[in-house]
C-alpha cells in the first residue's frame, strides 16, 4: 500500500507555473537530454514543500531502446527528475550559496507504476533535512493522480 501523498495535488493550481524552463536553466546546469525538470508549480518554504513536473515526450533519449514497442521511463530517470527538483529547491532556499548541488544518494525507493511518453510526471517533495553539508527530501512521483514512485533524495554541495 502506498504512503499518503505529501500534498494533495488537487489542492494546488497545477497550471500556475512559478518557474518555467528558462528560470530552471538559471539554477540547474542540466542541458539537452539530461533536462528532467520542466517546471515548478508550487513551493511553500514554511512547510518545506515543492511540486514540479517533467513532460515525458516521445523524443526522450531512452524511448527507442527502453522498451521497443512499449517505451517505459526508466526508474533511474524518474529518480533523476526528482533529484533535479530537489537540487533546484535547495538552491532557491540557499540563495547565498553558489556551490553546485550534487546527487548524494537515494533511500527507501519503491516504484509503484509506469511512466510513458505523453505523460506529465509530477514530483512532490518535502524537505526533511537542510544542513550546510547535505540535505534530504522525501519525494513522490505521480502520473494521472497515481503514485508511480517514492524515495528519499540525498544531496550535497560539491
Q: Which triple of cell numbers denotes residue 82?
A: 526528482
Sorted by where each starts, the structural domains of the chain and their CATH numbers stand as: 9-157 (3.10.129.10)
Position 96 scores a pLDDT of: 85
Position 75 scores a pLDDT of: 98
Q: What's the average model confidence in pLDDT over 109-125?
A: 98
Position 108 scores a pLDDT of: 95
Say yes or no to pLDDT of 125 above 90.
Answer: yes
Residues 47-93 pLDDT 10s? 999 999 999 999 999 999 999 999 999 999 999 999 999 999 999 99
The catalytic residue positions are 66
* Backbone torsions φ then ψ of 145, nearest 5 degrees: 80, -5
Position 132 scores a pLDDT of: 92
Bridge partners (DSSP) listed for residue 122:
53, 142
Residues 1-30 pLDDT 10s? 889 999 999 999 999 999 999 999 999 999
Position 1 scores a pLDDT of: 81
Q: What's the average model confidence in pLDDT over 80-108?
A: 94
Say yes or no to pLDDT of 37 above 90.
Answer: yes
Position 2 scores a pLDDT of: 82
Amino acid at each position: 500500500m502506498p504512503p499518503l501523498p505529501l500534498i494533495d495535488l488537487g489542492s494546488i493550481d497545477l497550471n500556475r507555473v512559478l518557474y518555467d524552463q528558462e528560470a530552471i536553466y538559471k539554477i540547474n546546469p542540466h542541458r539537452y537530454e539530461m533536462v528532467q525538470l520542466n517546471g515548478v508549480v508550487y513551493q511553500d518554504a514554511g512547510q518545506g514543500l515543492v511540486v514540479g513536473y517533467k513532460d515525458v515526450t516521445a523524443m526522450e533519449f531512452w524511448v527507442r531502446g527502453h522498451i521497443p514497442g512499449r517505451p517505459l521511463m526508466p526508474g533511474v530517470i524518474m529518480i533523476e527528475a526528482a533529484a533535479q527538483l530537489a537540487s533546484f529547491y535547495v538552491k532557491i532556499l540557499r540563495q547565498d550559496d553558489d556551490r553546485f548541488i550534487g546527487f548524494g544518494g537515494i533511500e527507501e525507493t519503491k516504484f509503484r507504476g509506469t511512466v510513458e511518453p505523453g505523460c506529465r510526471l509530477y514530483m512532490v517533495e518535502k524537505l526533511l533535512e537542510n544542513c550546510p553539508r547535505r540535505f534530504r527530501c522525501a519525494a513522490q512521483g505521480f502520473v494521472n493522480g497515481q503514485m508511480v514512485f517514492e524515495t528519499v533524495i540525498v544531496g550535497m554541495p560539491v
